[in-house]
A and B are shown apart, each in its own frame.
Chain A
């Protein structure tokens, strides 16, 4: 029996309450390093259950224009992977319960070294990692290092993932499964609720892990529609867009609070 982790505890609690998970994504360092931890606390205060902290990368291949710009802004503030760890550590001084996942790309982890990454993540109070371009075929070594430290490894499944592949990926996956609702990049605009429903049912045959749906979820209505057949919704681009447009840290917090609050209310209806 593996040890429990904040992610497991959070999903168990949500399940017991009959509620859907709201997973929120922001890019670390976007809007200035000093504003990230206050934003994370605001996300929680407004109803976020899990935080995906985006680790900025110079070449974020899977992101649409909104999140690409978030990465570029964060890099202007020299937000390195190490800085991201420090931000999580600072967040943990006030919040011991909300799970935090680092979402990013393989190269900064390669540069730090997978073992150093896993150690630093553990020490900082990170609960899991989602590495977009680390395919299941290449994920083995990092997966093992994370598992040994009781950290979860979140994998993406997509409309194009075949059944036999779903079956092998869920063997590697832990914490929850992130279902990418559409063929496209983050923030795309062609969400198809029926396809989401059918694919979640297909994935459900292979795993009991919580299923969260992301990409293309813009508001309370779309979050509610996709989470109806899964365990939660992931919201990113609308938050990153708001942070990018905000005049300062206080304005960003206000915008994020309003957006997350609206989605939370819709999910809890």
Chain B
């Protein structure tokens, strides 16, 4: 944590879209003009009072914000240490933090005058959140989803179809989220004149990592205010799961300049780091280039991207947002892991102690928070981002339990 006191985190990314050595724009030339246009439009609108008012209005009246900061008393008791507060993103419309971003990008899409939106999705949460805002604005919507994920997440596939979106199964590569993103990029290159690409995480070419972060930063701004209201000080620690990292950066970013607040990003440990079957690029990967940005990646010795493993489809991604890569290198955020079993245990524990069914993604954050709380004092406070609800995961958990639902 050498000289981070000197860094003003609100000044990043820099003008060329970099967070230290990470981020940037690694895309084919055809897309550069569209990215330039998006960047210029966002620069114009992000401080525009009318745009901000429209975004805030949608967050309040359509998403249902602010989301509560809830003291999980029985969970705290079970952990036996610091107080655990849950930031209830699971209570948002569509059931996860993803909608904060799609509402924001939908406003940008409307301003751009484009008539069609596309998205990539893994577990289907971002796809549902995109199909939702597209339905509301009367935009055509296509969602790319790995053919494997289409099979694993059939309820979300049907939700998207009900919302009027076309769900396109992607048969190339490993048939999961990364391939869905490749295919969405190919669609965008082909239909760039009339199509707005709503990226679902803080990855991709500049300015996506910035704008997805900004739209999700409402999580951290609220949590900061609510912490002061509820316990009269800033939290001692923040915990959030990290796949691409949009819910984590949304919680962390408004606190980055508060050097007293420790932050923990929890990657998917899968079957255990030692097995190689995980999705923890910040813990086990190396810097490289994928999907338009330089960041930490899971890859082999030849630079080919390798398949990841996690019980939670939303964390099953070989890369991570470039800002996280930078925050790791400079030591501002500590990136840890929770494996499948720990996440499932936390899923059950939160459900039984608090009556809250968390998404398997968010269960990784809960699992680490339980361990962390035990090492802290009872008067200390941890805020955990409960990024999504677990209804979508009951089939996965039931299958692990050997039960047919």
Q: Which residues of A contact B (CB under 8 A)?
A: 57-65, 68, 72, 75, 80-82, 105-112, 132-138, 155-162, 165, 169, 180, 183-185, 188
Contact = CB atoms under 8 A, between A and B. Distances in A.
Interface of B: 16, 24-34, 172-173, 178-179, 182, 185-186, 189-193, 286-292, 294, 297, 299, 301-306
Nearest to A139: B26
Contacts of A136: 29
A106 B26 contact: yes
25 contacts: A57-B303, A59-B291, A60-B182, A61-B182, A61-B185, A61-B186, A61-B291, A63-B186, A64-B186, A65-B172, A75-B304, A81-B302, A111-B288, A112-B303, A133-B289, A155-B29, A156-B30, A158-B28, A160-B30, A160-B33, A161-B29, A162-B33, A180-B30, A183-B191, A185-B189
A62 B192 CA distance: 14
B33 A58 contact: no
B299 A107 contact: yes
A75 B192 CA distance: 30
A82 B302 CA distance: 8
B290 A111 contact: no
A135 B289 contact: no
A120 to B, nearest CB: 13
A59 B288 CA distance: 13
A116 B190 CA distance: 35
A111 B285 CA distance: 12
A64 B182 CA distance: 11
A135 B303 contact: no
Contacts of B306: 58
A137 B16 contact: yes
Q: Which 10 A-B pairs have the closest CB atoms?
A: A111-B303, A108-B303, A80-B302, A106-B289, A160-B33, A58-B304, A184-B190, A158-B30, A62-B28, A58-B305
Contacts of B297: 107
Contacts of B304: 57-58, 75, 107-108
B338 to A, nearest CB: 27
A157 B294 CA distance: 22
Most buried by A among B179, B286, B290, B305: B290
Given A58-B304, A108-B304, A110-B303, A183 B193 contact: yes
Contacts, number: 119
Contacts of B191: 183
B34 A110 contact: no
The prevalent SS among residues of B at the interface is mixed
A107 B190 contact: no
A135 B29 contact: yes
A68 B170 CA distance: 12
B305 A61 contact: no
Contacts of A110: 287-289, 294, 303
Contacts of B189: 62, 183-185
Contacts of A188: 190
Given A58-B173, A133-B28, 7 more contacts: A111-B299, A111-B303, A134-B26, A161-B33, A169-B29, A183-B192, A183-B193
A170 to B, nearest CB: 12
Contacts of A61: 27-28, 182, 185-186, 291
Contacts of B179: 59
Nearest to A56: B304
Contacts of A162: 33
A79 to B, nearest CB: 9
Contacts of A169: 29
Contact of B25 (A60, A63, A137): A137
Contact of B292 (A72, A108, A133, A180): A133
Contacts of B172: 65, 68, 72
Nearest to B184: A61
Contacts of B290: 59, 107
Nearest to B178: A59
Contact of B303 (A81, A134, A160): A81
B372 to A, nearest CB: 34
B302 A108 contact: yes
A161 B303 contact: no
Contacts of A59: 173, 178-179, 182, 290-291, 305
A180 to B, nearest CB: 6
A135 B35 CA distance: 12
A81 B189 CA distance: 26
B25 A183 contact: no
A162 B29 CA distance: 11
A41 B356 CA distance: 66
A134 B184 CA distance: 19
A173 to B, nearest CB: 11
Contact of A185 (B186, B286, B289, B292): B186
A107 B303 contact: yes
B33 A111 contact: no
Nearest to B205: A135
A173 B186 CA distance: 25
Given A59-B290, A61-B182, A80-B302, A180 B190 contact: no
Most buried by A among B173, B185, B191, B303: B303
Contacts of B301: 111
A225 to B, nearest CB: 21
Contacts of B288: 107, 110-111
A62 B27 CA distance: 8
B186 A107 contact: no
Most buried by A among B172, B179, B294, B301: B172
Most buried by A among B30, B32, B179, B192: B30
Contacts of A109: 303
A160 B32 contact: yes
Contacts of B173: 58-59, 72
Contact of A183 (B24, B190, B303): B190
Most buried by B among A61, A135, A138, A158: A61
